[in-house]
Amino acid sequence: MLLIRRLYSSRRGSGGVKFLPEYKLKCGLEIHSQLNTKNKLFSMSTNDPFHAANNPNYHTSYFDVSLPGTQPKLNYEAVLFASKLCLALQCDINLNSQFDRKHYFYGDQPLGYQITQHYKPFAKGGQLIMYRDLDNIDEVMKRIEIVQIQIEQDTGRSLYAGSETGTLIDLNRSNVPLIELVTKPQFNDVKQVCAFIKKYQNLLRHLKISTGDLETGAMRVDVNLSVNGNARVELKNLPNTSSIRNAIICEYQRQVDIIRCGKAEELLSEPQTRGWTGSETVKLRSKETTIDYRYMPDPELPKVTLSSDVLTGVASELPELPDAILTKLLSKPYSMSLKDAKLLTTNSSSHTNLYSTPELQEFYMKTFEEFCKFNGSIIESKLPANWIIHELLGNLNKLRIPLSEASKILDPKTFGEFLNLIYRKSISKASGKLLLFYVLNNFKTSGFTDLQGINFEGLIAEYELNPLNQVDETQLQGICEEILNGVDDGVRRDIISGKKKNAIHFLVGQGMKLSQGRIEAPLLENTFKKILGIKK
């Protein structure tokens, strides 16, 4: 119990656990990622394993189900996708890689072997660098080196339906192309592991080669873990980052308990593969060795031979990488907050129905450019980000309007014009929010067919949204006194004495409500203070 208290007493925020210095944690990762190719790796079957969930064995060919006499034919789109990833990770790509057979029998692998790359993998070396400021780790910088990246085929799925029905086999996933990334065991903190997975996942999505979804199995992570250099334990069946984090902590504690009890020889004697139940790790089997798999070169597949010119061409087509974009957005002239900049650079599958990250990023960049044209030297550089991320996206989510539809009527030039009205105080922020929702709601009501140009100044005049900043002092004082007449004398005394410092903000809110947001808050606050005799 003392050990557990020491472990958990050293948590830093919600990010991780500081492990005990006398029990050194060493972790490495093996990450399998399904590629978004049109077809499978060694057949022309459609690569769509999850959309066929209600149709088992639907996306299959003779080779996928291992019909005798069928032969594999390499899908070179998988090679292209692997090249993009390896170049982005600065790997040394093998110009003459080969496929090998990894022998084992299981019901969802009817060939009796898996086609993978063992002797001459697609690439070796490379790195992924994490930073404290960008990736929420404790170190200023953490470099994780890559052992190798290989291309291989996925297996089918075993569905355990119950003792009466037995085990069902769905081969829709069989022969789906995978990229396996193997890191060096350089992780010594849970936060580093979680940050690496998120960063790698974002890179896959950014390159548009994989969805990277852990929940659907499109990305699957195995953790190799040891304490004080004892035999490594492989943790499998980890469905999400929360499970990965908790499984590492739990397995670390299990191994430390064994060492503290003087039974370290138990850890040295047998490498294990363990599963995660949600509350503890359990032994699945003894860890297989290379000899167990009886690797041999696949005699039916030729070597994958690439020319350096091909790689040069692929490199020239790579998009700017997320870290470079993030650094640019944090710098001048954009000067975005880290939270907002990450929203424009973190590729997520949760908002795909409304917008993609590259689409939102492009909309922001073009809007910022248009906003600059109106104003020359920008003083409020964060204005475009605030209105796009917090107001525009908020309305799109509320009205369920895709950004691609909204940009037909609110393109970057038009939105830049709208922001200019707010920047020049031609309309108050409160009125601007009302106007933006009105325009989008009307556009949706029209069935996205009303593509007439928006006359913002006409709408401002029609609905009397122009600010009352030029209202004469007598009229403004009359509005404020009307509000104060409805306030209890005791409350008024508390405001004047300073006992309720924030109470004046309530008065300002009432003034903005009465003027429908057309009088700016500072003007109201100054008038209230003048009437009450409060020094600024």
Tens digit of each residue's pLDDT (9 = 90 or more) over 143-181: 999 999 999 999 999 888 665 667 899 999 999 999 999
pLDDT value, residue 3: 42
Q: Are 64 and 161 in a shared domain? A: yes
- How many domains does the structure of the chain reveal? 3
CA 58 to CA 68: how far, in whole Å? 19
- pLDDT range class, residue 250, cuts 50, 70, 90: very high
Q: Are 67 and 121 in a shared domain? A: yes
pLDDT value, residue 13: 36
Q: Are 416 and 291 in a shared domain? A: no
Of the residues 463, 482, 509, the one at which a domain ends: 463
Residue 324's domain comprises 320-463
Q: In the chain, pLDDT over 90 holds for what percent of residues? A: 62
- pLDDT range class, residue 292, cuts 50, 70, 90: confident
**How far from each other are the two terminal CA atoms of the chain, in whole angstroms?**
58
- Report the DSSP pairing between strands 233-238 and 272-276: parallel
Q: Are 324 and 418 in a shared domain? A: yes
Of the residues 427, 444, 463, the one at which a domain ends: 463
pLDDT value, residue 413: 94
Does residue 69 carry a pLDDT above 70? yes
Q: Are 37 and 136 in a shared domain? A: yes
Q: Is residue 252 part of a domain?
A: no
Q: Which residues pair with 187 in a beta bridge?
A: 27
Q: Is residue 261 part of a domain?
A: no
Does residue 1 carry a pLDDT above 50? no
- pLDDT range class, residue 263, cuts 50, 70, 90: confident
Q: Are 491 and 440 in a shared domain? A: no
Q: Is residue 13 part of a domain?
A: no
pLDDT value, residue 504: 81
pLDDT value, residue 528: 83
Of the residues 463, 485, 511, the one at which a domain ends: 463
- pLDDT range class, residue 483, cuts 50, 70, 90: confident
Q: Are 190 and 290 in a shared domain? A: yes
Tens digit of each residue's pLDDT (9 = 90 or more) over 429-476: 888 998 999 999 999 998 888 777 888 888 888 877 776 555 667 778
Q: Which residue has the higher pLDDT, 13 or 365?
A: 365
**Range from 5-14, 170-179, 255-264 carrying the lowest mean pLDDT:** 5-14
Instruction: Kindly write down the DSSP assignment for every residue of 113-175, as one continuous string.
Output: EEEE-SSS-SEE--EEEEEHHHH--SSSEEEEEEEEEEEEE---EEEE--TTT-EEEE-SSTT
pLDDT value, residue 429: 86
Q: Is residue 103 part of a domain?
A: yes
Provide mean pLDDT across the span 341-368.
87
Q: Report the predicted TM-score, pTM, of the whole model to 2 decimal places.
A: 0.85
pLDDT value, residue 517: 67
Q: Are 51 and 139 in a shared domain? A: yes
Q: Is residue 324 part of a domain?
A: yes
Q: Are 204 and 352 in a shared domain? A: no
Q: Is residue 136 part of a domain?
A: yes
Q: Is residue 432 part of a domain?
A: yes
26, two tokens = 């060493």
DSSP 12: E
Tens digit of each residue's pLDDT (9 = 90 or more) over 11-65: 443 344 668 899 999 999 999 999 999 999 999 999 986 666 778 999 999 999 9
Average pLDDT in the chain: 88
Tens digit of each residue's pLDDT (9 = 90 or more) over 218-237: 999 999 999 998 888 999 98
Q: Are 478 and 459 in a shared domain? A: no
Where in 195-335 does DSSP place strands (E)?
219-227, 233-238, 272-276, 281-286, 296-297, 304-305
Of the candidates 179, 180, 153, 209, the one whose C-alpha atom is nearest the C-alpha of residue 38 is 209
Q: Is residue 93 part of a domain?
A: yes
pLDDT value, residue 522: 79
Q: Are 525 and 435 in a shared domain? A: no
Of the candidates 368, 350, 371, 347, the one whose C-alpha atom is nearest the C-alpha of residue 359 is 347
Q: Are 372 and 417 in a shared domain? A: yes
pLDDT value, residue 486: 82
Whether 218 and 204 have beta carbons less than 8 Å apart is answered as: no
Give the orientation angle of helix 503-514 with respect to helix 521-532, to 10 degrees: 120
